[in-house]
Structures are given as structure tokens and as C-alpha cells.
Amino acid sequence: MNTRIGFIGLGAMGLPMASNLQRKGFDLTVFDIVRAPMDRLTQLGARAVTSVAECVRGAEIVVTMLPATVHVEGAVFGDDGILANIGKNAVLMDMSTIDARATDRVAQACAQRGIGFTDCPVGRLALHAQKGESLFMVGAEDAVYARVEPLLKAMGSTIYRCGPPGMGSRMKLINNFMLLSTAQIVAESLTLGTKLGLSVETMREVTAGTTAHNGQFHVLMVNKSLRGDIEPGFTIDLAFKDLTLALNAAAEQRVGLPVGSAAHAVYGAARATPYASKDYSALLDLACDRAGVSVPRLAKP
């Protein structure tokens, strides 16, 4: 494939996604403020540059995978940013999880300049991104979607068209609100079960056979905290940011989210602990610490 891609943002999700693009034949130029992930990609054949502007110039599709709204808007609207350097026939493909109103601002600015735009936030975990099994929630018009579809198929296994630009970001907000709130309920449930003397194996087996079955227990925690691994795929700090986006949207729409608000408060308090920069599955470790019980671990396979 000869499609020239500029990829900006090589964090826990961006690095494996970009790696899959490079391995599958795309012409990749990459930029991140941290050098190490760029070095890993140059070993695969990508070209590393030292600025957003360099990454954008000559690219047919520019991909952004950045932590928060402020980073996306800085990269897009900065004096030496994306819109100042992108080609007239190019597409901006934002895969970050940000405020949907910011997505709208970026989409409008692209439209005014004749630049294609799509918001394609990512579902599933870093372990799925590594295997090329990510899920994408896409907001795009048909012509733009046709151009980015090969990239999505190279990085993931599941694509959902959610509507026009902006709808991918709105779907991601709802998805993350649901899963992050559920993760706290799972952490509390496993802590209580441990206090009551149940083994984690029993809790896993029984809930897998009832409607309590959920991905936060049976995928996330089974692969992370219950194995003793809380190194970040998705940090508690970023999880707090995403829940804040959902609560802000709810406030604007006059929608009450009482259970989610309680979960948001837990994530907020967790940011003042050593777990702030750990994987959000560490909610289990935090809950157990506070309850005075040992964190349950699954036996090694």
C-alpha cells in the first residue's frame, strides 16, 4: 500500500495501532513528544520526525491518537499544527477520546478548508490493539469513510458506523461511561466476595454463567489486576477524564447520572493515591486496600 500516513500520538493505544499500519504496508511518518515509541516504529520501517508540521506535510491521511481535548485542539489549531500544514485533499482522522463539542469544532474547521474529517475513537483494550483487534466507533460521511476504511481494517477487527462526524465521539462517551462505572461495581463486588470468603475462581465461574457476566470482570480484570498486572493500558487519570466528559455532557442535557456520579467520585479520589497512573483495573487493588483484605489473584495457568 502506498497511502502516506502521518500518525501523531504513540501512547499505550497509538503505538500498537501505528505498528499494525506499518507492518501491513502503509507509508508511515510518526510523531510523539516521547522518543522511545518513535524509535520502536523506526525499527519497523516508519519515518520519525520532530514536529506535528513535519508529520502532516505530504500525508494523505493524518491520524491523531492523543490523551485529551486540549492536546487534540493544540495539535489541530496550533500555529505550526495540522490545519496549517495539511494538504487540500487530505483527511484528518481523530481517534482520541475527547469532548464531542471539540470534535464538532475540528470537523467544522476542516469543512471550511475542504479537508475531509472523521472521528474514529477506539474501543477495547491495549491488548486488543496489539493483536490488531480494536473496535472503532466511526463518525464520517461516506466518501471520507471509504478512504479510512483500509486503515481501520489494518488496525482492528470491528467497525461501527455511528453516523456523521461527531457521532463516533458521542458513542465513545457513552461506551466509556458504561464500562468505567461497571469497573467500579466489579471492584466492589470482588472485594466484598473476598471478605466473605469466596475464591475469585468461584466468583468468575458463577458470574460467567449469569447475566452478571461483563467485560470488566471477565476480560479486563482477568487479564490485568487479577494477574497482578496493574501497569497501564488505560490509566485511572484518563478514566477520570472520560467520566468527566460524560458528566459534563449530562449536565448540559439536564440528565441526572447518580450512579455514574458516585463512580466518578471514586475515580477522582483514586487520583490522589499511588494508583493514579496505574491501569484502571487497579480499582480492585484500591478497594481491597480500603477494606483491609488481600487482593485476590487468579492462579497462574
Question: What are the structural domains of the chain?
Answer: 4-165 (3.40.50.720), 176-291 (1.10.1040.10)
- The backbone region for 9, taken as left when phi is positive above 0, alpha when psi lies in -120 to 50, beta otherwise, is left
Give the pLDDT of residue 300: 75
Which residues, 6+ apart, have CB-to-CB distance to 153 below 8 Å?
159
Specify the 3-state DSSP secondary structure of 33. coil
Report CA torsion sign: 79, 57, 105, 240. negative
Give the pLDDT of residue 1: 57
Which residues, 6+ apart, have CB-to-CB distance to 254 below 8 Å?
none
Give the pLDDT of residue 301: 64
The Cα angle at residue 269 between residues 176 and 250, in degrees rounded to 5: 40
Q: Which residues form the catalytic set?
A: 172
Give the pLDDT of residue 2: 78
> Which residues of the chain fall below pLDDT 70?
1, 301
Give the pLDDT of residue 278: 97
CA dist 254 and 249 (Å) reads 9
**Residue 42 carries which side chain, given as an amino acid letter?**
T
